[in-house]
């Protein structure tokens, strides 16, 4: 059985993120894509547009000293333009570490990602790891 094209798109995004390949990530996003990060930490909020989203991803790398890694567990399409991706992320920041399951809900339009809604297992723990909004 072949992989659904929307799942393959999401998988390519996870692979590019893992390599720090911002140009590939840019090519997978619509110009007006929005990434929604839950909680009340310094990284929480709505990042609209490719540049803002890629700046967020760079900041995640900087805040964790390059230790952030995300292990994709599965990518599940609904056949109507959405993919639910489940992953575990690991990172260190200062004297803190985190390992947390979570997921991303992707909306796909015209073969590109137009919206990313992020969910985490424990919002309070994620907020404590990333630090207070500033």
- Return the domain boundaries, the chain: 5-130
Token pair in block for residue 27 = 């090519």
Ranges assigned E (strand) in 38-111: 45-48, 69-77, 82-93, 96-109
Residue 81 phi/psi, 5-degree rounding, is 95, 15
Q: How far is residue 89's CA from residue 103's CA, in Å, rounded to a whole number?
A: 10
Q: How far is residue 51's CA from residue 61's CA, in Å, rounded to a whole number?
A: 15
Q: Which CATH architecture has domain 5-130?
A: Roll (3.10)
Question: How sure is the predictor about 1, in pLDDT bands with cuts at 50, 70 and 90?
Answer: confident
pTM score, two decimals? Answer: 0.95
pLDDT at position 12 is 98
């Amino acid at each position: 059985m072949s992989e659904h094209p929307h799942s393959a798109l999401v998988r390519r995004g996870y692979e590019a993120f893992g390599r720090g390949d911002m140009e590939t990530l840019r090519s997978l996003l619509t110009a007006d894509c929005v990434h929604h990060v839950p909680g009340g930490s310094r990284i929480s909020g709505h990042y609209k547009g490719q540049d803002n989203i890629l700046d967020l991803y760079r900041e995640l790398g900087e805040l964790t000293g390059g230790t952030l890694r995300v292990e994709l567990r599965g990518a599940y399409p609904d056949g109507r333009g959405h993919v639910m991706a489940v992953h575990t992320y690991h990172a260190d920041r200062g004297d803190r570490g985190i390992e947390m399951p979570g997921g991303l809900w992707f909306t796909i339009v015209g073969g590109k990602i137009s919206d990313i809604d992020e969910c985490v297992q424990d919002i309070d723990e994620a907020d404590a790891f990333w630090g207070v909004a500033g």
